[in-house]
Structure 1
Amino acid sequence: MRRAGHSVYSGAVRKAPRLNAILERVNDARSVDVAELAGTLGVSEATIRRDLQSLSSGGLLVRTHGGAIANDLDAEIPTQIKAVRRQTEKSRIGAAGAALVPDGAVIGMSGGTTTLELARALVARQRIAIVTNALNIGSELIGRAGLHLVVIGGVARPSGEMVGPAAEAMLGNYHLDMAFIGVDGLTAEHGCTTYDEMEAQTDRAFLSQASRAVVLADHSKLGLVRFAQITGVANIHQVVTDRDASPAQLESLRAAGVDVVTV
């Protein structure tokens, strides 16, 4: 257990990683204390109070006198915070996903911080066509020699994903050898789920155009069920996750017929 006032960091932590660290702490401990967080993260108590107020305004925790407690409501974490959560695991998952892609393949990629790591692992590959609805993935891959990039349009979500009927109609023009999707929840019983119903429908369009469906998800997504279902596990061929995933969750997915890879 970390002691109040004892920093595990070499200096003050920048805002996005700091907000991530606060959320991780409140998720683990269910409550946090301003003084302890200030000491752990190497910043002032005034900074921590502002951080807690910001996270509380976003519905990600509940502000209390002297600290905060966990908010168990199903709130979507902002993209700028997601981007620094479990970065090491996501990088490994992205690299493992890239290893599944043969030269000459046409692949679809939905948005998400883990699929972004897949894109980064593919930048040096040759003769691959990529269809995506994510602006950050498009920005990562544009102009890369050897890659043919298609970015589809639609209604823009705060995450930078283009969704809705226009996106789905454009996806209907392409056959995909593989589709890689990110999820916010994954269980054998409820399948792949996410926070937004329009995003779920566009993700289904990716899967319907693909010969092979692959889910990229770090261990924190396993065992969770979110608002909108993307698809059941019967429609998923493979899941790539990290080695910290719950053995019980991995076993339930395998028992449902899903090929699960841990990295």
Structure 2
Amino acid sequence: MSENQNLLAEQRRALILDEVRRHGGARVNELTRKLKVSDMTVRRDLDALARLGVVEKVHGGAVPIAEASTHEPGFEAKSGMELSAKEDIARAAAPFAVPGSAIALSGGTTTYALAQHLVDVPGLTVVTNSMRIADVFHSARRAADVASEGAGGRERSFGAATVVLTGGVRTPSDALVGPVADAAIRSLHFDVLFLGVHGVSAEAGLSTPNLAEAETNRHFLRSARRVVVVADHTKWGKVGLSSFAALSEVDVLVTDAGLPRAAREEMAEHLRELVLAGA
């Protein structure tokens, strides 16, 4: 069998994961036919997904791992998933950050991807509860300063943002939450909040497995004039332990083209605006 060279490993694994989740499992021989790759390739992909903790390998195939409502994957585990979708979402969400505005970025791997598209937006003030996101802007500023020094100080970085890191207690997903973060956020006001989420559903709204993070997110929402949620299609239908907002509280939800049509129609009934990145 000739290998299908048109799909990257990441894209193949996303398709395999979607197949496993939609049908409650998938067999190796079915996946080889569908993807037009060898069974060795499929087995390697299943090994990679099993290491990420999103499927369980069984004889002849794989089944999804049922997540408890309190299960919170770490940042590293999540950062290796749905990379193309997150990049599409980041590009589509970036224009909502207007030059000279005050924005907030919650912790998460999708907001982390978005931050890398915002470093050149002029005059931003950025409030975040993510050390990783703060580091993105810090590294960009340091690189700009080095470039300016190399040009004899004649260049100026117009994209360098003012960054406020809230402080707080670190979660497994590398967000800073709790009373310290809440107090900092309560005293501020944002033009736009870019919010990453663990789960999105019509019934439960936006949810997270972490109770302290839910409360911190509520403060983010109360302090924002506009709320832009960034979430790939795998977040649809997930429900964490604690809901912190209804879909009606979201101004814009930016997701990717992998969102099933039925889910799009259901979302449209509850949302003010739905953006399908990469469609």
Q: Same fold (TM over 0.5)?
A: yes
Q: 1:159-207: CA deviations, max 9, x gaps? A: 2110111110111221111111111211233211122121111111111
Aligned match of 2:211 = 197
Aligned match of 1:94 = 90
Is 1:179 equivalent to 2:173 in the alignment? no
Higher relative contact order (CA 8 A, sep 6+): 2
Q: Which has the higher helix share?
A: 2
Whole-angstrom CA distance in 1 between matches of 2:168 and 2:27 = 40
Cα contact 2:200–2:239 (8 A) shared by 1: yes
Is 1:210 equivalent to 2:224 in the alignment? yes
Which moved further from structure 2: 236-245 or 247-256?
A: 247-256
Cα contact 1:7–1:42 (8 A) shared by 2: no
Whole-angstrom CA distance in 2 between matches of 1:18 and 1:96 = 23
Is 1:39 equivalent to 2:40 in the alignment? yes
Q: 2:269 pairs with 255, 258, 263, which one?
A: 255
Extract unaligned runs of 5+ from structure 1.
none
The one-letter code of the counterpart of 1:148 is T
Shift of 1:106: 0.3
Whole-angstrom CA distance in 2 between matches of 1:261 and 1:141 = 26
Shift of 1:65: 5.8
Cα contact 1:90–1:117 (8 A) shared by 2: yes
Cα contact 1:9–1:42 (8 A) shared by 2: no
Aligned match of 2:65 = 71
Aligned match of 1:234 = 248
Q: 2:257 pairs with 229, 240, 243, which one?
A: 243
Whole-angstrom CA distance in 2 between matches of 1:51 and 1:248 = 26
- Considering only aligned residues, what root-mean-square deviation do their CA atoms show, in Å? 3.2
**Secondary structure of the residue that 2:191 maps to in structure 1?**
strand
- Over 3 Å counting, the alpha-carbon distance change for 1:195 and 1:149 in structure 2 is same
Cα contact 1:197–1:228 (8 A) shared by 2: yes
Cα contact 1:17–1:81 (8 A) shared by 2: no
Please, what TM-score do these two structures have when normalized by structure 1?
0.79
Identity %: 31
- Over 3 Å counting, the alpha-carbon distance change for 1:76 and 1:22 in structure 2 is farther
